[in-house]
Amino acid sequence: MSKISKLFKGSSSSSSSSHYPSSSKSKHGHRSRTGPTPQEAIHKLRETEAMLAKKQDFLENKIEQEIIIAKKNGLKNKRAALQALKRKKRFEQQLTQIDGTLSTIEFQREALENANTNTEVLKTMGYAAKAIKGVHQNMDLDKIDSLMQDITESQEVAQEICDAISRPFGDAFDEDELLAELAELELEESMTNMGRVPSVPASKLPTSKLPSTRPSQRTPSKKRVEDDEDMQMLAAWAV
């Protein structure tokens, strides 16, 4: 075993033996202290995201500068151009690592935010459940049943009162009997109307023979003769 390994072994054993009590104390101290709240953890993650975003901008600017240096030197100073490209590669690697770290941090932050939201929702639901339980504690099912029975009985009594008020007074007649009597009256009326038509005897019916005299040859009536005489007298005065 080399002297260097022995030296490291001795220092590690001594440091571990000397740090045991302090580590146990720190463990006891952490046990007494509660962990960070979700809001604190989310705040820290957002601060880390902002810091890494600034580092991204810095590395992107450095990459652009190294590209400019490589183009500027080109074939004039090949060594300087290669060094600039090497630095650009290192910056790109760091930028890739930061992208992965940011993805992990964003995932943790979103998970914490969702868990915090779910916790608040559950708290609210539990608060509402306690309120509902407190309201139901003041309710008696027997009292509710008896109240519903009273309401039903009151409605039945009200319906009976309405029926009694709307019921017509006097004797109740059968509508079918009234309709039958009305039909008989109508039949009698129709029969009476048919009996009023005068019957004409067959002996008094006009025969098919026509009068022997023509209308022009009929004897003039007395009134017509007097009218003719007056007309003649007026004609004579006019002459």
**Percent of the chain at pLDDT above 70?**
65
Is the pLDDT at 210 greater than 50? The verdict is no
Axis-axis angle for helices 38-73, 78-137 (nearest 10):
160
pLDDT above 90 for 61: yes
Label residue 180 exposed, middle or buried (CB < 10 Å: 0-12, 13-18, 19+).
exposed
Cα(69)–Cα(91) distance, integer angstroms: 14
Span 207-227, mean pLDDT?
Answer: 53
Beta-carbon contacts of residue 113 (< 8 Å; ≥ 6 apart):
42
Rounded Cα distance, 63 and 94, in Å: 11
pLDDT per residue as tens digits for the range 147-204: 888 899 889 889 888 888 877 665 566 778 888 888 888 888 888 888 765 555 555 5
Cα separation, 57 vs 64, whole angstroms: 11
In whole angstroms, give the CA distance from residue 122 to residue 128: 10
pLDDT (mean) for 223-229: 64
Beta carbons within 8 Å of 66's beta carbon, 6+ residues apart: 84, 85, 87, 88, 91
The pLDDT tens digits of the residues spanning 14-23 come to 444 444 444 4
Tokens 């600034």 identify what position?
A: 54
DSSP secondary structure code for residue 75 in this structure: T
d(CA 43, CA 13): 40
Q: Report the C-alpha gap between 52 and 178 in whole angstroms.
A: 102
Q: 61: exposed, middle or buried (C-beta count within 10 Å: 0-12, 13-18, 19+)?
A: exposed
Given this model, what pLDDT does residue 91 score? 93
**Confidence (pTM):** 0.42
Separation CA 50–CA 68 (nearest Å): 28
> How many Å apart are CA 117 and CA 17, to the nearest integer?
46
Residues with Cβ within 8 Å of residue 220, at least 6 apart in sequence: 228
